[in-house]
Structure 1
Amino acid sequence: MTKFRLCSFNIENLFTRFDFSAFSDPRAAAYLSPIVQFYGNFGDGDLTKFEEFKRFVQTAAISQDDDKRQHTALAIAEADAHVYCLQEVDGFDALVRFIEAYVKKTMGERFHNRVLHEGNDMRGIDVAAISVRNVPFYSRSHAWLTGSVIDDTESGQALLDQFPLAKARARQLRSQRVFRRDCLELEVIVGENKVSLFNCHFKSMGGRDPERSLATRQTEAILVRELITRKFADPAAALWAICGDLNDALEFRFVSSVENDDGSFTESPRGTPPSGEDGSALEVFLSDGFAVNLLDTLPEDERYTHYFAGGRSKTQLDYILASPALAGRVRGAPEVIRAGMPHRVPNLATPRYPRIGWDRPKASDHCPVVVEFDI
């Protein structure tokens, strides 16, 4: 048997650029550093000041991001994995710079295998992967796949019939790309075996049309399942996992805003998200046992990987969904690394990394998920 540690981690906006369109696009403005939002937009009409303002914005962003990336690197080091499936990476150059400037200082010269294929995201955030020297992989992008890939197969049609929203969305996307970012397929060499990983970052919840966003995620999920079904004659017996930020959940834990006498807050499970969506893309993978959510072995209040302060909800958005065969090879308990979360997350007594703030800096707005296997 060979020990194999796998980590999935949304490292939140690993950019090596600044998008000044945020000052004219209200939706893009949400991604500005908070200190920049505090000082406001450039809008007094004096264009001679704009270059000076740009330098100020870049300085503020660089200063804030340096702390953040040190915390991200600490979370990666704590995971101590062989393969990392990463989300929200600006590009291959950004990935390499991050490894050289930050990760190398916490883990040394360890990650010799690195990959990123440019995907479909309008903001330019991609999925990527890195691995240690003795665990190489082959990679394949599926960013180009359209809805016709689902609609033209018997198994795809059967899934679409189960999910009417996805059926309508897949036909809208028949000649368009389905994945909002990519589904990065990795074939990882573990000893004398191969493990297939499908690294995804699905469409976010909510927005102006929650039903449409749910339909998009369900379509993405069906396409991922189709890729696995086509790859393996017996998917249940094969070694594969779906990793990533799937931006979806089957349960949500809402935290009361009323503080108890002991300083804690009461948490209660609810079935619907703050965004109001009725349904989940995860049902595509989990409803019939096609895949296993490996964090289900943890207590319910320990499965969350994300805290949404606006809705005071703790949610698992980040997953390692394994085939039944791979799930049977899990070694010990899965881990959710929370030492990089901001102090505003309620009911979390985990010691934080040095200089973690109330809201920022932090390692990410998501937690790394780590699972160890015997392969």
Structure 2
Amino acid sequence: MSAITIATFNCENLFRRYRFNKKLTKEQIEKRITDGFIIDKTVLTTVNETERKLTADAIKATKADIVCLQEVENLDTLKNFVSEYLSSSSYKYRILIDANDPRLIDVAIISKIPFDCIKTHQYIKSGSTAVFSRDCLEVEFMIAGKLLTIFVNHFKSMFDKGNLTPAQKRAKTAPRRELQSQTVLDIIKKKYKNNPEKENWIVVGDLNDYPDDKTSLKKLLNSKWMENVVQTRITDPAEQWTHYWDTTSIPIDERYKQIDYIFLSKKLATANPTAVPEIVRKGLITKATKYTGPRFTDVTDKQGASDHCPVAVTIKL
């Protein structure tokens, strides 16, 4: 394989729930008596099915070989989503490990390339509290004889209970993200010892903060081991946003921000000087008027693929 494409995407609540009010026919009941418990669309539904199709459209648009996902309910939901909506795209390999989020939204990977090794970091603690809000999922791939490691993250949200402004909520929740940032660096340091910048690895995910002077992500953004390629390779700052916040609580220009990241290790960044990330915005609701390009069929002012955009980059190892 001469080149591979890696994407990250917060697919926004990829759930699958029981249809409690669904009435089964006599034939369906008899089938369950004969075959036992069967998970299928007669009693379970992907929430919301049109939006999930749009989510799949957004994933397909990345043309990615490896897709790192956030906000997926469980592995069965992920497998069902791939089977129903991505059947022609050959994502044969899927991994999700139930982790720390009380809403049961986890990080995951779907891939056309087999996994070589999988490791969870959900049990790392600070005192009695888990450091990671979900997990830092570490997955290794052996590609053309070369090892590539991806660290998939979904950091602490900027939202918080209480009568605070968005800026105050961001500041209040920042210490947790700062700890998560440092812990990711600690994991990388432990894995690669004194030469992290000389290895093939990528940190991706929804890190829930902006790359500005008030960010809680300074330790990652300022690290000499890696490069935030959205910020360094997309030359127009106005085109670096990956998320649209549908709210009236902040000015319009502040509703478009980068909170989704791909950090290439220094080795990968140096080896791929012309690799420019693609941000797929076709699945955003039409209220996101800063984006003026084409949208997927079925996108409306209320219905889209996600409030996040997939971010993808193509690299050579």
TM-score, structure 1 as length reference = 0.71
Q: 1:112 aligns with which of 71, 77, 92?
A: 92
Once the two structures are TM-superposed, the CA of residue 66 in structure 1 deviates from its matched residue by: 1.1
Task: State whether structure 2 residue 286 is matched by structure 1 residue 333.
Answer: no
CA distance in 1, matches of 2:128, 2:145: 40
Q: 1:249 aligns with which of 210, 216, 227?
A: 210
Whether contact under 8 Å (2:141, 2:148) holds in the other structure is yes
Tell me the secondary structure at the aligned position of residue 73 of structure 1: helix
Whether contact under 8 Å (1:82, 1:135) holds in the other structure is no
**CA distance 1:282–1:18, change in 2 (3 Å):** farther
Summarize the alignment of residues 111-130 of structure 1 with structure 2, pairs less than 5 Å apart: 111-130=91-110
Task: State whether structure 2 residue 220 is matched by structure 1 residue 237.
Answer: no
Q: 2:218 aligns with which of 267, 283, 286?
A: 283
Once the two structures are TM-superposed, the CA of residue 63 in structure 1 deviates from its matched residue by: 8.8
CA distance in 2, matches of 1:357, 1:230: 46
Q: 2:61 aligns with which of 75, 78, 82?
A: 78
Q: 2:259 aligns with which of 298, 317, 320?
A: 317
Summarize the alignment of residues 355-370 of structure 1 with structure 2, pairs less than 5 Å apart: 355-360=298-303, 362-370=304-312
Tell me the secondary structure at the aligned position of residue 241 of structure 1: strand
Tell me the secondary structure at the aligned position of residue 143 of structure 1: coil
CA distance in 1, matches of 2:73, 2:47: 17
Which ranges of structure 2 fall in alignment gaps of 5 or more residues?
24-41, 162-168
- CA deviation profile, 1:189-248 (whole Å, cap 9, x unmatched): 121101111100001013135444111111111111100001003011111111100001
Report the identity percentage: 32
Once the two structures are TM-superposed, the CA of residue 86 in structure 1 deviates from its matched residue by: 0.5
Summarize the alignment of residues 89-100 of structure 1 with structure 2, pairs less than 5 Å apart: 89-100=72-83
Tell me the secondary structure at the aligned position of residue 328 of structure 1: helix
**What residue is the counterpart of 1:144 in the other structure?**
123
Q: 2:143 aligns with which of 190, 195, 217?
A: 190
- CA deviation profile, 1:132-185 (whole Å, cap 9, x unmatched): 0x44332111111112xxxxxxxxxxxxxxxxxxxxxxxxxx232111100000
Summarize the alignment of residues 1-375 of structure 1 with structure 2, pairs less than 5 Å apart: 2-17=2-17, 65-104=48-87, 107-108=88-89, 110-132=90-112, 134-147=113-126, 174-208=127-161, 210-233=170-193, 234-251=195-212, 279-296=214-231, 297-298=233-234, 299-310=236-247, 311=250, 312=252, 313-330=255-272, 331-360=274-303, 362-375=304-317
- CA deviation profile, 1:65-112 (whole Å, cap 9, x unmatched): 1110111111111111111111000000000000011111xx34x111
Regions of 4+ moved over 4 Å: 61-64
Aligned length: 283
Once the two structures are TM-superposed, the CA of residue 334 in structure 1 deviates from its matched residue by: 1.0
Once the two structures are TM-superposed, the CA of residue 323 in structure 1 deviates from its matched residue by: 1.3
Aligned-residue CA RMSD (Å)? 2.3
CA distance in 2, matches of 1:237, 1:304: 29
**What residue is the counterpart of 2:166 in the other structure?**
none
**What residue is the counterpart of 1:47 in the other structure?**
none
**CA distance 1:93–1:288, change in 2 (3 Å):** closer
**What residue is the counterpart of 2:28 in the other structure?**
none
Which one has the bigger helix percentage?
1
Once the two structures are TM-superposed, the CA of residue 342 in structure 1 deviates from its matched residue by: 0.8
Whether contact under 8 Å (2:16, 2:46) holds in the other structure is no
> Counterpart of 2:218 in structure 1: which amino acid?
E
> Counterpart of 1:6 in structure 2: which amino acid?
I
Whether contact under 8 Å (2:18, 2:45) holds in the other structure is no
CA distance in 1, matches of 2:259, 2:170: 16
**CA distance 1:64–1:220, change in 2 (3 Å):** closer
> Counterpart of 1:73 in structure 2: which amino acid?
A
CA distance in 1, matches of 2:139, 2:9: 16
Once the two structures are TM-superposed, the CA of residue 286 in structure 1 deviates from its matched residue by: 1.7
**CA distance 1:135–1:329, change in 2 (3 Å):** farther
Once the two structures are TM-superposed, the CA of residue 309 in structure 1 deviates from its matched residue by: 2.5
**CA distance 1:365–1:18, change in 2 (3 Å):** farther
> Counterpart of 2:222 in structure 1: which amino acid?
S
**CA distance 1:178–1:95, change in 2 (3 Å):** same
Which ranges of structure 1 fall in alignment gaps of 5 or more residues?
20-50, 148-173, 252-270, 272-278
> Counterpart of 1:287 in structure 2: which amino acid?
N
- CA deviation profile, 1:264-320 (whole Å, cap 9, x unmatched): xxxxxxx6xxxxxxx322201122423210112111111111011322321011110
CA distance in 1, matches of 2:148, 2:129: 30
